[in-house]
Amino acid sequence: MDHEKKYWLSLKDLSEDKDFKKSLQNEFVSPLPSIEDVSSSRREFLQIMGAGLALTTTACLKRPTEKIIPYVNRPEDIIPGESNYYASSYHDGGEGFSILVKTREARPIKIEPNQEAKLLNSKGLSPRAHAHILSLYDPERIKGPKQNLFNDKKTNKETINISYKKLDSLLVEEFKKGQVALLTPRLPSPSVQNLITDFKKTFKTKHYVWDPISMEDVVEAQKLSYGSSFVPSYNISKARFILSLNCDFLGTYLSPTDFQKQFAFTRRPSKNMSRLVVLESLMTLTGSNADERHRLSSVDQMSVLTFLANALSKKSYISLPEKAKKIIDSYKNSWSHLKISTDKIEEWADHLGSNKGQSLILSGGLRSQTKNSKEVYILVNFLNSALKNDGKTVNHSQHFPYEFGSYSQMNQFLSDVKKGQIKSVVIHKLNPLYSYPEKDKLLSALKKIQVVYTGDRIDETGFYANYVVPDSHDLEKWSDWEFKKNTFTIQQPTIRPLYNTRAFEDSLLTWIKLSGLKKVQVENFYQYIKTYWKSKKGSSFWNSFLKKGITGSNKESTSVTRAFRSSAWSFIKKDRKTSQKYTLTLYETSGLKQGDLANVAWLQEFPDPVTKICWDNYICVSPSMALKESFKEGQVLRVHSNGNVLEVPIHIQPGQDDHTLALAIGYGHTKTGVVANQSGVNAYPLALQNTFSGLEVSFEKTKVVKPLANVQGHHSMEGRDIIIETTLEEFKKDSSSGLHKHHKVPSLWPKHKYKGHKWGMVIDLNSCNGCGTCMVACQSENNIPTVGKKYVLEGREMHWISVDRYYTGTAEDPLAVHQPRVCMHCDNAPCETVCPVMATVHSDEGTNDMIYNRCVGTRYCSNNCPYKVRRFNWFNYEKKFKEPLNLVLNPDVTVRSRGVMEKCTFCIQRVQEGKAQAKKEDRNLKDGDIQTACQQSCPADAIVFGDLNDPHSKVSQVFNAKNSYGLLDEMLNTKPSVKYRTKVRNKKKSIHSKKGHH
């Protein structure tokens, strides 16, 4: 027997398994684990599935249900999703437009120019015309008539509601006593004037017409010179040489939109291109577009004009009467002080003399309105007459009809109140306790009488009115207008009044009726107008008037020359020395003008076309004055003038006269609304009646700095090829002068193929004057929010189109160039490649599309965009569209939420609409069917948009013209779908000193 113990590890060992013996040699007994061993069991699988299901279902909460409810009875003319357009009008001081109001589901959403209105404005609107739709939905409008209860001192104690019935009976009772006054601005409306006459007859009313921006001196000068008391219009399109003295006719004077259109017409680079010389104290839009610009203080206007008159007579272009010679001689001493070289003035005399009947001397507007501006205007009238411009470039037959407001009438009103001749007053379309310079005087007068105010809010005047009878918004009521002599437009309401408001005209009519003093056939003002036009043009006329929106004679009135009355010379006094060191000029901006639309955020955030500052007014000083007085940008200056003190931040403005300080009116409301109340100071109290320029001023510095919200970061092109400028002479030789396009830049990407359309745009920098209307039009079309001053300062404004203004030349005597900048829709778009989630992609029609709901907001696209046209939603701006402001939103354009990028889309919604329309009508898309909002709003017709694949389209004909260029294309090879055409100035000297290479 074998007694030897055998130790064994396992049965396999015991049985002396060979494989096992072998495995004992290895260090590791068990095989290495492999992936096959880790399969989970069926139960585990079910467990995991169950957990997953639970997790996913709890994460997905149900979205709130939004119901779309169809009309039960669809109104006849409303198709959901389709826009209706109504012809209407917009009135704005001297300017008036025939407009089309775009409505969707019965709410007005946008103002567009009426293309039928060839007599007035077939193209282009003003920024204010676009923006005034927002005032319809102003949340601060009052919702019905109000009565103010006063305490003993006649300051407002409480505002209570009152019914129309009670109000009307109270007022009619009061009016019947007589001694009622009507205080309005100029109302160029035939029917309204008729109605006012009826009202005056009924209640023995006196009607006082006053405008804060008064044309009094211009009218007065016309009266003295020609015996006609109106403001003439100007045929700028016929002028080949324009000399403007402190007249901002492209920005603010009279009807700038019309003038812009005409001016652009004369600027085509040909041998007939006009030449504009501007002499002005502050940099204006007009000055920035000049071929030659010189600084001229408004107090020196007479010296220049007398020198010019002398030169013209010396060169025997005109003859001066004896009386005139004496006066002109008296100015001789002042000529030696002129900062403009006399050679220059003699050169202009030659231009004026050789272009008789085709030249124009312009002066007018607040910037020129000094104490003796009447004399300036008379002399200008004389020169225009002597140069045979009257009746040609000075268009007096199509003048601005109806009485212009004047300060003398306001003074009359005040003295009539003082005398006790007035017991109550109806104030309409004015806010005099804001805009009348001598506010205290007016207030004490108003406290003596009963005040009925038709404003739509308890503002500065409304606060002291006994009754506030809110006038309906222009888009809610009927009216007709005569902006130009013999050109009539209709104003249709486009929505039922949102609140319990009543049109001023209906109020007048009601009061006339209730008085029982006069029989009225009609029920309301609508019928009143209808009857008026029926009686004038017959019954069939009405409907076509509504459809077209405009009527009038197309005939160009014969150019009758008015005789200049030599008696006018006796109103020009001899030179009297002014020895002020500094003078103050108050001016209006093209955004706010007199300030009536100050509560419209679009206009507050609309940057001034020249300074590019928004949300504030500021005191402009020249760079050399700033250096001398060591002023800093934004430093607050305490300004004393006319016994008033204001604290305003300083803006150092290139091109400003060294002895002029300038401040804009229209800002600094106190009770108008949350938007209006936060911006700027009220400059009206510094005015001396209708003297707005050459005011005495003194100032002291403070240590406070109030930063100004400038939307533009830098104001020089730093020698870069951004805006290519050339002179007429060089352009005539070679239309591509200034450009150099010879680099062939290779691309790594394959070219895009565009089989259908390929959208493109060309912006003519030579036509563009930089007015900025396109910015507001775009804002209205594309639901672009405003952000407020704080965030503009942080560089977060949202405008999809911005108009860049660069100064050229020296800081003392610069010129400026303007460049509207939209998304370039590059073929090689730098933004498209860097977006990680493909939220911005190229369409097969050449546009660069932004997909908002895919965007996560990395902002890489913005960083990589060389044009920086992308805008980011830093906050939830959609919250800003509070009721009823949300009604203004365009339903065709997505409202963006926070955290997404947005930018110009080439108005893709309009492109789609145009394509759908063409398809519906079974035809091909025509050139011009699709207009972008900016293009449509441009008075100068500087923007052309269309299909580049259509060889006959307007845009494809200019896209590859010799003078068009893609911005930065030469450098970056982005292949933009937007091109610019070079700017041409009518100058002799070469701009391009260096034909440099980069």
Q: Could you list the residues that contact another protein (CB under 8 A)? A: 27-28, 712-720, 722, 791, 794-797, 802, 804-806, 819, 821, 830, 833-838, 854-860, 862-864, 866-868, 870-876, 897-901, 967-968, 971-972, 998
Least Å from the CB of residue 147 to another protein: 43
Are 946 and 760 spatial neighbours (Cβ–Cβ below 8 Å)? Answer: yes
Closest Cα to residue 861, out of 979, 852, 717, 783? 852
Task: Report the amino acid identity of residue 53.
Answer: L
Q: For 427, which DSSP code? A: E
Smaller CB separation from another protein, 144 or 866: 866
Dist. CA 458–CA 453, nearest whole Å: 9
Dist. CA 409–CA 425, nearest whole Å: 14
Q: Containing H/E element for 111?
A: strand 107-113
In 185-323, which ranges are E strands?
A: 206-209, 231-234, 241-245, 275-280, 292-295
Dist. CA 127–CA 588, nearest whole Å: 14
Region of 833 on the Ramachandran plot (φ > 0 left; ψ -120 to 50 alpha; else beta)? alpha
Least Å from the CB of residue 899 to another protein: 3
Smaller CB separation from another protein, 70 or 746: 746
* Total residues found in the chain within this entry: 998
Smaller CB separation from another protein, 533 or 867: 867
Task: Report the amino acid identity of residue 645.
Answer: V
Cβ count within 10 A of residue 60: 8
Smaller CB separation from another protein, 414 or 861: 861
Least Å from the CB of residue 209 to another protein: 43
Smaller CB separation from another protein, 74 or 790: 790
Write the CA distances from 32 to 17, 19, 21, 25, 632, integer angstroms.
Answer: 21, 17, 19, 16, 79
**3-state DSSP call for residue 44?**
helix
| Tokens coding 577 | 């020395």
Dist. CA 147–CA 140, nearest whole Å: 17
Are 318 and 324 spatial neighbours (Cβ–Cβ below 8 Å)? Answer: no
How does DSSP assign 138-201, residue by residue? -TTS-SS-EEEEE-TT--EEEEEE--HHHHHHHHHHHHHTS-EEEEE-----HHHHHHHHHHHH
Least Å from the CB of residue 27 to another protein: 6
Closest Cα to residue 284, out of 307, 308, 256? 256
Smaller CB separation from another protein, 627 or 856: 856
Dist. CA 892–CA 849, nearest whole Å: 15
Least Å from the CB of residue 20 to another protein: 18
Q: For 26, which DSSP code? A: S
Least Å from the CB of residue 738 to another protein: 17
Smaller CB separation from another protein, 876 or 960: 876
How distant is the alpha carbon of residue 269 from its chain centre?
Answer: 27
Smaller CB separation from another protein, 437 or 814: 814
Dist. CA 766–CA 264, nearest whole Å: 8
Least Å from the CB of residue 41 to another protein: 21
Smaller CB separation from another protein, 414 or 816: 816
Smaller CB separation from another protein, 793 or 893: 793
Region of 10 on the Ramachandran plot (φ > 0 left; ψ -120 to 50 alpha; else beta)? beta
Dist. CA 362–CA 384, nearest whole Å: 9
How distant is the alpha carbon of residue 693 from its chain centre?
Answer: 24
| Tokens coding 66 | 């939004």
Dist. CA 241–CA 262, nearest whole Å: 13
How distant is the alpha carbon of residue 963 from its chain centre?
Answer: 29
Least Å from the CB of residue 850 to another protein: 13
Cβ count within 10 A of residue 719: 9
Task: Report the amino acid identity of residue 204.
Answer: K
Smaller CB separation from another protein, 382 or 980: 980
731-734-739 Cα angle (round to 5)? 85
What's the burial of 923, exposed, middle or buried (CB within 10 Å: 0-12/13-18/19+)?
exposed
Task: Report the amino acid identity of residue 734.
Answer: D
Dist. CA 598–CA 594, nearest whole Å: 9
Smaller CB separation from another protein, 513 or 715: 715
Q: Is the dihedral of CA 291, 292, 298, 303 positive or negative?
A: negative
Smaller CB separation from another protein, 245 or 711: 711
Dist. CA 454–CA 504, nearest whole Å: 7
Smaller CB separation from another protein, 756 or 795: 795
Q: For 581, which DSSP code? A: S
Smaller CB separation from another protein, 866 or 914: 866
For 36, phi then psi, to 5°, come to -65, -25
Smaller CB separation from another protein, 453 or 872: 872
Are 301 and 370 spatial neighbours (Cβ–Cβ below 8 Å)? Answer: yes
Least Å from the CB of residue 826 to another protein: 11
